[in-house]
């Protein structure tokens, strides 16, 4: 909006004026979001936390100019630090204010005065009412130096861009999704989470529950994790916020938040809502034609291919293995394509360090979909490619589920889970090990598949995905290319 752009330009000009008084090598200041101590000076127990505002407020501070609504007699409570700040505004007036400051991750760390903005100094302390005696002094004016016009132009340009982005993000009434390479600021995520109205529960699993929510009239999905699943929540949030993670065939992440303390902690993950539900739900109710089958399979392959692929460069993305692929963890979009969800068990690999980043979660994958090397525990946990190939086995089973529901010659099979006729409804490790590894069996296929060109090709594809030897399995890139050729030959628009 024009007004927003004006504010952006105004902000850039103010920053330009302040930069003229700032010495080289000093960071842009954001001390009002800090705690004011060096890392070694933190109070015991103040490790990095995810939602520190929910910790008990055990410190009393004097406040003046920064008093919260619940302050009593110029005294506020915090779980972070007390601070006092002296600053000079653009008119040359000097103000001394004080108050409470939360400790909230790396965004809320108070700077030491040598690195603070030239005409502002902040001092922090961590005993009751200690900031009443703090008397920070303004540092001397730094020489302006010969600042390059190109630097100033760059500074203005970047500020206008950032301010405009912020304005667009917080437009009322519309939930802006993060871009492909960036995500909403944690405070914006927290604001969205607090404003969501829970409508009804739409799913439940080992990790917790899924609710339909509304944010300013727009539907969103809210995944509420059980307290014991904090590691899964943390890993899934971390994976979703990986640079370049966003893809049309991976569930769209919006925000994450954590509420409560002690035994009653609620962990929220807010994503796009897809009313068709999971692939499991969809296939139980819907039969497919060839076009719908290929759309589902190809789009799922595209999502998994994006996960598995490492993107190199400064704005790169690590390779990621899912480790819990199944039809219940794939959602169906309105256009009939798939998006992959539930990344709480995902494993990351960065070729620069050659390290496999395994989540802390004690959760394991779904037994029915476990690859032979997972069941017999022969998988090399230090070799990332092993996780990738285990995903490919699971993907083959999912393609089998899809193919059963494709109608040819007026014939179609009922929906069933893989190995439905070989193991109990809730199979044990021993059940799956016996069928998959000892007997070497794979899901039953229908004779009709061999009489249809498309289904015959799908059978070949899934068979090469679920091969016993991981090294013999297709990669997801090869699967994607094969399906792309089938889509092209059928003249299907994806």
Q: Is 151 exposed, middle or buried (0-12, 13-18, 19+ CB in 10 A)?
A: exposed
Helix, strand, coil percent content, the chain, rounded in steps of 5: 35, 20, 45
pLDDT at position 82, please? 86
Confidence of residue 154 (pLDDT cuts 50, 70, 90): low
Co-location of 260 and 281 in the same domain: no
pLDDT digits (tens, 9 = 90+) for 470-485: 999 999 999 999 999 9
Give the range among 60-69, 134-143, 478-487 with minimum mean pLDDT.
134-143
pLDDT digits (tens, 9 = 90+) for 88-133: 766 677 888 888 877 553 233 455 434 444 577 888 888 999 988 8
Q: Which residues pair with 480 in a beta bridge?
A: none
Q: What per-residue confidence (pLDDT) applies to 159?
A: 59
Unique residue bearing structure tokens 């994503």: 271
Q: Is residue 23 situated within a structural domain?
A: no
In a domain, 68, yes or no: yes
What CATH code is carried by the domain that includes residue 223? 3.30.200.20
pLDDT of amino acid 215: 86
Asked whether residue 180 is assigned to any structural domain, the reply reads no
- 246 or 180: which leads in pLDDT: 246
Residue 13 lies in a domain: no
Q: Looking at per-residue confidence, does 333 or 175 come out higher?
A: 333
Whether residue 418 sits in one domain with residue 332:
yes
- One domain for residues 252 and 329: no
Which residues does the annotation mark as catalytic? Answer: 324
In total, how many domains does the chain have?
A: 3
Please indicate, yes or no, whether residues 226 and 324 belong to a single structural domain of this protein: no
Residue 50: pLDDT band with limits 50, 70, 90: very low
Specify if 26 maps to a domain.
Answer: no
Q: What is the mean pLDDT of residues 44-62?
A: 59
Which segments of 140-207 are extended strands (E)?
Answer: 197-204
Distance CA 179, CA 338 (A): 20
Residues in the chain: 494
Q: 301 and 260 in one domain?
A: no
- The pLDDT, as a whole number, for residue 26 is 38
Residue 412 has pLDDT above 80, yes or no: yes
User: How wide is the angle at C-alpha 63 spanned by C-alphas 60 and 69, nearest 5°?
Assistant: 90
Lowest mean pLDDT among 24-28, 254-258, 457-461: 24-28
CATH of the domain at 467: 1.10.510.10
Phi-psi region of 3 (alpha: psi -120 to 50; beta: other; left: phi over 0): alpha
Model confidence, pTM: 0.64
Residues 262 and 309 in one domain: no
Same domain for 221 and 300? no
Average pLDDT, the chain: 80
Full domain range(s) for residue 361: 277-489
Q: What is the CATH number of the domain that holds 76?
A: 2.10.60.10
Please give the share of the chain, as a percent, with pLDDT higher than 70.
Answer: 73
């Amino acid at each position: 909006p024009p007004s927003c752009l004006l504010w952006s330009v105004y902000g850039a000009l103010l920053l330009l004026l302040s930069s003229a008084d700032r010495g080289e090598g000093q960071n842009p200041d954001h001390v009002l979001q800090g705690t004011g101590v060096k890392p070694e000076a933190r109070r015991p127990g103040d490790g990095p936390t995810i939602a520190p505002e929910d910790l008990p407020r055990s410190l009393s501070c004097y406040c003046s100019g920064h008093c919260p609504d619940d302050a009593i007699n110029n005294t506020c409570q915090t779980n972070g630090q007390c601070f006092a700040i002296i600053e000079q505004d653009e008119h040359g007036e000097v103000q001394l204010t004080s108050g409470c400051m939360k400790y909230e991750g790396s965004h809320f760390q108070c700077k030491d005065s040598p690195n603070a903005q030239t005409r502002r100094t902040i001092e922090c302390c961590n005993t009751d009412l200690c900031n009443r005696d703090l008397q920070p002094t303004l540092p001397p004016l730094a020489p302006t130096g010969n600042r390059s016009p190109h630097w100033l132009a760059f500074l203005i340009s970047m500020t206008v861009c950032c301010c405009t982005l912020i304005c667009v993000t917080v437009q009322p009434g519309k939930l802006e999704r993060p871009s492909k390479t960036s995500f909403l600021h944690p405070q914006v995520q927290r604001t969205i989470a607090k404003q969501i109205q829970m409508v009804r529960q739409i799913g439940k699993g080992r990790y917790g529950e899924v609710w339909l929510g509304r944010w300013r009239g727009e539907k969103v999905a809210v995944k509420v994790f059980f307290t014991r699943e904090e590691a899964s929540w943390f890993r899934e949030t971390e994976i979703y916020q990986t640079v370049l993670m966003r893809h049309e065939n991976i569930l769209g992440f919006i925000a994450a938040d954590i509420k409560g303390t002690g035994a009653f902690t609620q962990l929220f993950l807010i994503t796009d809502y897809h009313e068709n539900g999971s692939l499991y739900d969809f296939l139980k109710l819907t039969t497919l034609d060839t076009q719908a089958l290929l759309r589902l399979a190809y789009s799922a392959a595209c999502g998994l291919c994006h996960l598995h692929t490492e993107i190199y460069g400064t704005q790169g993305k690590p390779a990621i293995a899912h480790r819990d692929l199944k039809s219940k963890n794939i959602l169906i979009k309105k256009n009939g394509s798939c998006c992959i969800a539930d990344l709480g068990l995902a494993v990351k690999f960065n070729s620069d360090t050659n390290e496999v980043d395994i989540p802390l979660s004690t959760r394991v994958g779904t037994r029915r979909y476990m690859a032979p090397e997972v069941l017999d525990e022969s998988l090399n946990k230090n070799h990332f490619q092993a996780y990738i190939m285990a995903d490919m086995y699971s993907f083959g089973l999912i393609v089998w589920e899809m193919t059963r529901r494709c109608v040819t010659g007026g014939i179609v099979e009922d929906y069933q889970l893989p190995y439905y006729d070989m193991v109990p409804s809730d199979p044990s490790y021993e059940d799956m090990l016996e069928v998959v590894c000892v007997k070497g069996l794979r899901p039953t296929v229908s004779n009709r598949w061999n009489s249809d060109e498309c289904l015959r090709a799908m059978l070949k594809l899934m068979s090469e995905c679920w091969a016993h030897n991981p090294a013999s399995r297709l990669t997801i890139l090869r699967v994607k290319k094969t399906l792309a050729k089938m889509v092209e030959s059928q003249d299907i628009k994806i």
